[in-house]
Amino acid sequence: MTGQEIMWIVFAAVIAVMLILDLWVFNRQTHEIRFKEALSWTLVWVSLALLFNAGVWYFLGQVKALEFFTGYVIEESLSVDNLFVFIMIFSFFGISKRHQPKVLKWGIMGALVMRAVFIVIGIELIERFHWMMYVFGAILVYTGIKMAFRRDEKMEPDKNILVRLVAKVFPITKRIRDDRFFIQKCGMRAATPLFLALLVVESSDLIFAVDSIPAVLAVSHDPFIVYTSNVFAIMGLRSLYYLLAHVMEMFVYLKLGVSFILTFVGIKMLIADLVEVPLHFSLGFILGTLVISILISVLVAKKPAHH
């Protein structure tokens, strides 16, 4: 059995056990996830990712371990944009903090499947058509620049194509009943705002995958590295959401930092055939950008307002 086969088995076992524990044992009951619980789960997922990275180092070597860690950091930093969107989606549909975990739980399950499909397609495209690397690079540069100059956009989830399709098939209830996605109303099956919020979360992740998958493909074309780094970042996303939801306003320059990272990774893809940017330099740039943007945000937040 090869080192990568061993790590695939370890990965599958860890994710299966953690899914059962996180989603169906500790969080089986509908409840509001508070800061302390979110912090605990965030630390658990980050620790697991680092332990898994150590396993990659041991079985597959230093280069693969560096690729995994860089991919993981890229995914975690890009997921910050997801968190801003989740806040807007829940606010629009009036989803209480008590009911948000269920939406995010099924949203993450869908994301795991969608990312696997996107990764297979992305790697296949790059392997077969080398010029697709330039397309992916251009998408990242465009998205990065757009994000840097983008004002907070007003979300209109009710205009989402999936929401409109469901509205044509099912009646939509105004109120949320318990934590159900569908209820019986006047002898008919009706969708609740909880289900509509789930649809918008899933479709927004589909859009995010268009950025995040090419970003990791700039680091590695190994399906194992790309998928595992993606999954560890996604699995920690739910607890990270609750951890940052209350302090998101503090990190005003974090989005700008993420836009720099996207642009950098896009440029790296575009010049890959001319200049090989060392992986440790990429990792240093990404971590440095995140740290600087967080520090500037905190310093600006602490600065007293002048009257």
Summarize the confidence of residues 57-66 as an average pLDDT.
Answer: 93
CA distance from start to end of the chain? 69
The helix (run of H) or strand (run of E) holding residue 184 is: strand 182-185
pLDDT at 90: 80
Cβ contacts of 129-136, under 8 Å, gap ≥ 24: 133/217, 133/269, 133/272, 134/269, 134/270, 136/214, 136/217, 136/218, 136/266, 136/269
Chain centre distance of CA 216: 12
Structure tokens given for 60: 């597959």
Q: For 63-80, how does the pLDDT look when each residue is reduced to its tens digit (9 = 90+)? A: 999 999 999 998 888 877
Range in 58-72, 178-192, 195-209, 265-279 with the lowest mean pLDDT: 178-192
CB 227 within 8 A of CB 209: no
Please determine, for residue 27, whether its predicted confidence score (pLDDT) is greater than 50.
yes
Rounded distance between C-alpha atoms, residue 221 and residue 243, angstroms:
32
Report the amino acid identity of residue 210: V
Q: How many helices (H) and strands (E) does the chain have?
A: 11, 2
Rounded distance between C-alpha atoms, residue 32 and residue 232, angstroms:
23
Domain boundaries, the chain: 3-301
Rounded distance between C-alpha atoms, residue 99 and residue 60, angstroms:
41
Structure tokens given for 287: 């971590």
**DSSP at 177:** -
Rounded distance between C-alpha atoms, residue 286 and residue 197, angstroms:
32
CA-based max dimension of the chain: 69
pLDDT at 307: 47
Q: For 210-266, how does the pLDDT look when each residue is reduced to its tens digit (9 = 90+)? A: 777 888 888 888 989 999 998 998 888 878 887 777 666 667 777 788 888 888 888
Q: For 79-124, how does the pLDDT look when each residue is reduced to its tens digit (9 = 90+)? A: 777 777 777 788 777 777 777 877 888 888 888 888 888 888 888 8
Rounded distance between C-alpha atoms, residue 172 and residue 234, angstroms:
30
Q: Are strands 182-185 and 188-191 parallel, antiparallel or unpaired?
A: antiparallel
Sequence-separated (6 or more) residues with CB below 8 Å from residue 257? 77, 289, 290, 292, 293, 294
Q: pTM, whole model, 2 decimals? A: 0.83
The helix (run of H) or strand (run of E) holding residue 15 is: helix 3-19
